[in-house]
Amino acid sequence: MRIAVLRERAAGECRVAATPETVKKFIALGATVAVEAGAGAGAGISDAAYSEAGAEVGSAAAALKGAGIVLAVQAPDPGDLKGADKGAWVAATFDPFGNRARVDAYAKAGLEALAMEFMPRITRAQSMDVLSSQSNLAGYKAVLAAANVYGRAFPMMMTAAGTISAAKVFVMGVGVAGLQAIATAKRLGAQVSATDVRSATREQIKSLGAKPIFVESVAGIEGEGSGGYATEMSEEYQKAQAELVSSHIAKQDIVITTALIPGRAAPRLISDAQIATMRPGSVIFDLAVAQGGNVEGSAPDQVVEKHGVKIIGYSNTANHLAADASALFSRNLYNFLSAFWDKEAGKPVLDEEIGDAVRLTQGGAVVNERLKG
């Protein structure tokens, strides 16, 4: 089995879908790995490092020739995959709901698209979950970026010249990114509070030493929610949450929003009126800005100032930690393919539970049930 790793084509994308570590592991399985020259440059990985790991390094055309599997961070245009085997697998992130045209193009090209963001939230797939690995880094980076813009210290400092109060940080949405944001802010010495619509997160927030802020008058989502994700809430809950947030947010120095709903635009958590209640010099980091934003007025990769409050957010937050993000993403891909590797066949053979979940296209058709409706 020949595995091709291409340089990312998406503008500004610095991550890479395989590292020398995973190249060695794929070769140990019996695969041949071909890497396009310069593929790892953005993540600090040289062509020589890939060669030393046993990969063939050359042009994209040379890497693709005869490839049965193509690995990528963001799925390339099918036109960039000429030379790969008919029916070749492409394991990457596809944004299937936001870019349906690309999914249809993969079907038309006869390629088998495997969307890593559709990995089911089950125990045995945890090591394959790219959303979790990248969100973890994004939550960390969000706090550091907000701290950099904030312009004040995070921890309480007692000095001969007087005392500096600790920064107050409020995290909205306690998934993987939110939990890491809480942990990072605590390590920096901030006073941290957090909220979520899922009841199970209350104890998770407490376990990290933060204060849970929850709507008590209206029931939220019991337990973890569907697959660990939140769903759109009732108007009654949204109204109660808005009132709670309005009273709490006015006292905060930094707010990190992380709420996403799969297949939907990001829910609006903070309005312009609520921003106006915050102290000048406060900072909001919108981790969902690329999906429409949790914060009114946020814009990808820009610092927007409203009512003296700075609103920031990256279109690709994990990309700002490209080396670590690549290491984790590539391990997710290796864990995924190696778990199903059939030594006799010399290639992976997916089972129904995970295969049906991630497979978007096969045999010239869109086959994923989530995209058929």
Residue 260 tokens, joined? 């996403």
Radius of gyration for the alpha carbons in the chain, expressed in angstroms and rounded: 22
Q: By C-alpha distance, which of 294, 268, 281, 15 is closest to 137?
A: 15
**43 Rama class: left (phi>0) / alpha (psi -120 to 50) / beta:** alpha
Based on the residue annotation, tell me whether 126 is a catalytic residue of this protein.
yes
Are the CB atoms for 177 and 294 separated by under 8 Å?
no
Q: Kindly name the residue from 121, 237, 246, 356 that is annotated as catalytic.
A: 121
Q: Kindly name the residue from 46, 126, 165, 302 that is annotated as catalytic.
A: 126
Q: Kindly name the residue from 2, 7, 50, 132 that is annotated as catalytic.
A: 132
Q: Rounded to a whole number, what is the largest CA-CA distance in the chain?
A: 72
Q: By C-alpha distance, which of 218, 221, 208, 279 is closest to 243?
A: 218
Are the CB atoms for 84 and 5 separated by under 8 Å?
no
Based on the residue annotation, tell me whether 229 is a catalytic residue of this protein.
yes
Q: Kindly name the residue from 129, 196, 253, 286 that is annotated as catalytic.
A: 129
Based on the residue annotation, tell me whether 301 is a catalytic residue of this protein.
no
Reduced to 3 states (helix: H, G, I; strand: E, B; else coil), residue 289 is helix
Any bridge partners for residue 162, and if so which?
Answer: 159
Based on the residue annotation, tell me whether 129 is a catalytic residue of this protein.
yes
Residue 147 tokens, joined? 């701290």
The percent of the chain in helix, strand and coil, each rounded to the nearest 5, is 40, 20, 40
CA distance 72 to 228: 26
Q: Would you please indicate which residues are annotated as catalytic (active-site) residues?
A: 121, 126, 129, 132, 229
